Amino acid sequence: MKFFSFKSAPNVRKVMIYLRERGVETPFETIEVDIMNGEQNTPEFRAINPLGKVPALQLDDGTFVTESLPIVEYFEETLPGGRLMLGDTPEERAKIRSIERYIEMEITGTMGIMAHNMMPIYTVRFGESPEVVEYARRRQAMALDFLDNFIGDRSFVYGDGPTLADISLFVTLESAFLVNAEIEPKYENIIRCYENFSKRSSVAL
């Protein structure tokens, strides 16, 4: 297998942290894609992922799996040792996936909206829009309010131990500075989960 990566990209980080949490050797050859210099937009990479995004996983049969969550789910299904990061029962998996997707869509996703409308690497293609950035900030604040309340007094986002939801939250917040979206002190429960997960060896670059 081959894994098309940009080491510091949040969605690449999600897959790599997941694998370290599972305690397995990297089961693929890693190929770095220089997204800062536009390599993701070349015809060669677009043949791999027409959306021009990393990560992308090439399976042994030559086909590709794109997007971080399907890649993680593929490894959850194929690696030995049970579904450690997505739950052991259908009920657990449904609940963990629900909150992980909420983080991905409403916190990571709104940060992506900010990035596309304020970071030069994107604005040269899409244009700059302070109004859209402000909309994304307001929408993200609503999501953070919900998530902080959802977590309550737990040490991790869901349950007594880390799950994929914690990985998604961590990789999002560690890159928040790029769009001036650092977490506010009032979100004590989110900060506690982030800081707990940041102590794990799996997050080292």
Q: What is the pLDDT of residues 69-89, one digit of tens each?
A: 999 999 988 888 766 678 888
* pLDDT tens string 159-202: 889 999 999 999 999 999 999 999 999 999 999 999 999 999 99
Number of helices (H) and strands (E), helices first, in the chain? Answer: 9, 4
Tell me: pLDDT of 131 over 80.
Answer: yes
User: Residue range 16-22: average pLDDT?
Assistant: 93
CA distance 62 to 69: 20
Q: HSE on the CB side for 161, CA within 13 Å?
A: 7
pTM (predicted TM-score): 0.92
State residue 83's pLDDT score: 61
| Band of residue 99 on the pLDDT scale cut at 50, 70, 90 | very high
Q: Which ranges of 66-200 does DSSP label H, i.e. alpha helix?
A: 68-78, 90-102, 109-118, 120-126, 130-151, 164-174, 188-198
User: Residue range 42-56: average pLDDT?
Assistant: 93
- Beta strands 56-58 and 2-5, pairing class: antiparallel
The closest of 65, 68, 51 to 13, measured between CA atoms, is 68
CA distance 83 to 37: 37
CA distance 91 to 77: 16
Tell me: pLDDT of 119 over 70.
Answer: yes
Q: How far is CA 196 from CA 55, 80, 99, 182, 193, in A?
A: 26, 26, 18, 17, 5
Please state, for a pLDDT cut of 90, what percent of the chain lies above it.
Answer: 80
State residue 101's pLDDT score: 95
| Band of residue 141 on the pLDDT scale cut at 50, 70, 90 | very high
User: Residue range 39-67: average pLDDT?
Assistant: 93
State residue 151's pLDDT score: 98
Question: Coil, helix or strand for 200?
Answer: coil
Tell me: pLDDT of 63 over 80.
Answer: yes
State residue 159's pLDDT score: 84
Structure-token match 């399907």, residue found: 70
Residue ranges of domains in the chain, CATH in brackets: 2-78 (3.40.30.10), 90-203 (1.20.1050.10)
